[in-house]
Amino acid sequence: MEELQHECGIAALYYLPGRAERSSVWPGDPDQLSRLMPRMLLDLQNRGQLAAGMTSYHPQRDQLLDTYKEVGTVIEAFRLNHPHKYTSIMEEYAGRAAIGHTRYATCGATDRRYAQPFERRHGCKWKWFAFAFNGQLTNFTELRRQLLANHDYHLTRNNDTEVILHYIAHELRGDDRPDLIRVFSRLAQKFDGAYNIVFLNALGDMVVLRDPLGLRPLCYALDGPVFAAASESVALQNLGFRHIQSLQPGELILIHNGELTLHQYASSGRSAHCFFEWVYFANVASTLDERSVYLTRARLGEELARQERALQRVPLDPADTIVVPVPDTGKAAADAMAFALGLRSVEGLIRNRYVGRTFIEGDNRADKVRLKFTPLREVLSGKRVLLVEDSIVRSTTLKSLLHHLRQQGGAREIHVRVACPPIIAPCFYGIDMSTVGELFAPRFLRGPSPTWEEQQAMAQELGADSLLYLPVEAVARCIGLPPDKLCLACVTAHYPTPSGQQLYQLAVRRRECPGANGRTYEQPDLTDRLPSVPSTHPH
């Protein structure tokens, strides 16, 4: 509900030659396959709305690789509301292979120069490449420093995508065509963090890879000669693919000379899938690593119901107690919770789906809430409301919403139930919450688990009658994966990579330093100005 933003979504398409079977997904001209890319990116729009783009490959075109990208949503960038302009774009960038991207900025500016894919042109076809990237390199600052210190490099953007471009280009140097599996194996030894990459060169070689920890989701499918990959399964399912599989951590798909092969390019010894994908980010229709997002959120709601019955803090009288989801990510949990408690789940808040981005820019949270949500007074007036929220990160929007529910909706009581543990630590792997100071919960907590008293202090700050979070241990149960296969860093402060843990210590120390503003991973080394903090600091 707080409009937390994700780094981005990636997609890939390839028409494999020499396959006799036909494709029901794309039975048309192989050289027009790239026309499917905007449709795929629409289904990844939840992962980024600032820019969208694609690079296509066509062996009979002067521009063997050609990149189109613009600032805006997929509809805006590809001019989908202007049929003639959209058709012109699709004709100019037609190809039998393509990679695509939707962007939100957790690093760097928001102008077109930062939109992806990034393309590096070269006279040698295997050195001419484009790529798109989903995630965040936690050691981006150190990698950037190494480039600037050890080589005659000049970097024009302050983001990890340009750093990755230069590292790939460096691996492709020399007179002999390199083995792309070895290229990305060597890069895996240098990169720390989350990095799913789609890569395409002017020979028509494609690489689709998932980082060694599998922090961000990535899936793929084949339908006859048509191969596709995307950050989420819904983008493939809606094209008509049936047998969709998750790429495993440290795996890559290589398409070389028109042949597709699967390889293990790196190993970490463990996986660390981001639990927040299931709780908040992913499309509710997606399946990530064979776990349904919808069913996971429903189980989170069932956990909320069990907790509610056990604690008995609120009367559960069906006559005057209702469950209301915060649209849209809270709905599956709210419905399941209400059913388990024998209460009605009602849409007491209606989201305005037609408010464009322009109208909700700025810092006035109350205005944003009034524009985006309409409380139904006929449903809420005089009721005891169990308001189900997917998570609380900064709390500012939720506070305005609670005030709106009381003033406009006439709710008698509002009890906030959160289908997630307290967010106590930043994310350095591609979610836009990189500092401790912006988080709500750490200001109230004194231990690893919130007490009833601490949660009620939070409720008072928010303007709620009560507040309850789910415990950390409930998350793994609901997803159906062991805790050691998940990244739970934002709710435990235990990070799965060394640079992530170091950034957390820096973030805690920066919180005490006047003038240390901005995202943690974009800052210069502030060590000399930062007070020391024990490594066992609870938050």
Q: Is the pLDDT of residue 532 over 60?
A: no
Task: Give tens-digit pLDDT for 310-319.
Answer: 999 999 999 9
Q: How confident is the model at residue 357 (pLDDT cuts 50, 70, 90)?
A: very low
210 and 305 together in one domain: no
Residue type, 195: Y
Helix (H) or strand (E) holding 237: helix 234-237
CB 59 within 8 A of CB 128: no
Domain boundary at 271, 300, 315, which? 271
Task: For residue 251, give the 3-state DSSP assignment.
Answer: strand
296 and 207 together in one domain: no
262 and 321 together in one domain: no
> What CATH number is given to the structural domain containing 404?
3.40.50.2020
Structure tokens at 148: 């600037």
Task: For residue 265, give the 3-state DSSP assignment.
Answer: coil
Task: Give tens-digit pLDDT for 138-181.
Answer: 999 899 999 998 768 888 888 899 999 999 999 999 999 999 99
264 and 298 together in one domain: no
CB 487 within 8 A of CB 496: yes
Catalytic residue selected from 8, 274, 420, 478: 8
Which stretches within 342-448 are classed as H helix?
365-372, 377-380, 396-407
Closest among 76, 136, 67 to 105, alpha carbons compared: 136
CA angle 508, 509, 515 (to 5 degrees): 110
Task: Give tens-digit pLDDT for 91-135.
Answer: 999 999 999 999 875 555 567 888 999 999 999 999 999 999 999
Q: How confident is the model at residue 355 (pLDDT cuts 50, 70, 90)?
A: low
In this prediction, residue 396 carries a pLDDT of 87
Task: Give tens-digit pLDDT for 483-531.
Answer: 999 999 999 999 999 999 999 999 988 876 655 555 554 554 444 343 3
43 and 181 together in one domain: yes
520 and 451 together in one domain: yes
Report the alpha-carbon distance of residue 276 to residue 391 in Å, rounded. Answer: 9
Q: How confident is the model at residue 405 (pLDDT cuts 50, 70, 90)?
A: very high
Neighbours of 139 (CB within 10 A): 23
In this prediction, residue 515 carries a pLDDT of 52
Instruction: Give the gyration radius of the chain's Cα atoms.
Output: 24
Cα–Cα separations (whole angstroms), residue 43 to 10, 73, 311, 478, 500: 11, 12, 40, 25, 30
Residue type, 71: V
Structure tokens at 64: 């063997």
Residue with token string 């996971």: 296
Q: Does the residue 38 lie in any domain?
A: yes
Q: Is 490 a catalytic residue?
A: no
219 and 160 together in one domain: yes
In this prediction, residue 524 carries a pLDDT of 44
Q: Is the pLDDT of residue 385 over 60?
A: yes
Structure tokens at 117: 């894919």
Q: Higher pLDDT residue, 169 or 1? A: 169
CB 520 within 8 A of CB 507: yes
Q: Does the residue 310 lie in any domain?
A: yes
Q: Does the residue 279 lie in any domain?
A: no
CB 425 within 8 A of CB 393: no
250 and 326 together in one domain: no
Question: Could you tell me how far CA 44 lies from the centroid of its own chain?
Answer: 10
Report the alpha-carbon distance of residue 486 to residue 134 in Å, rounded. Answer: 18
Q: How confident is the model at residue 400 (pLDDT cuts 50, 70, 90)?
A: very high
260 and 406 together in one domain: no
Neighbours of 511 (CB within 10 A): 19
Cα–Cα separations (whole angstroms), residue 488 to 241, 302, 346: 31, 20, 31
Q: Does the residue 2 lie in any domain?
A: no
Q: Does the residue 534 lie in any domain?
A: no
Q: What is the pTM of this model?
A: 0.91
> What CATH number is given to the structural domain containing 156?
3.60.20.10
Q: Between β-strands 384-389 and 321-325, what pairing exists: parallel, antiparallel or unpaired? A: parallel
In this prediction, residue 103 carries a pLDDT of 85
Report the alpha-carbon distance of residue 248 to residue 258 in Å, rounded. Answer: 22
Task: Give tens-digit pLDDT for 264-306.
Answer: 999 878 999 999 999 998 999 999 999 999 999 999 999 999 9
In this prediction, residue 519 carries a pLDDT of 55
Task: Give tens-digit pLDDT for 197-206.
Answer: 999 999 999 9
Question: How many domains is the chain partitioned into structurally?
Answer: 2
In this prediction, residue 99 carries a pLDDT of 98
Q: Does the residue 276 lie in any domain?
A: no
User: Can you give the residue range of the structural domain that contains 419?
Assistant: 292-529
150 and 265 together in one domain: yes
171 and 211 together in one domain: yes
Q: Does the residue 513 lie in any domain?
A: yes
Q: Does the residue 335 lie in any domain?
A: yes
108 and 215 together in one domain: yes
Q: CB-side exposure of 57: number of CA atoms within 13 Å?
A: 28
Query: Which backbone phi and psi does 459 adopt, to 5 degrees?
Result: -60, -45
CA angle 50, 55, 56 (to 5 degrees): 145
Question: Could you tell me how far CA 535 lies from the centroid of its own chain?
Answer: 29
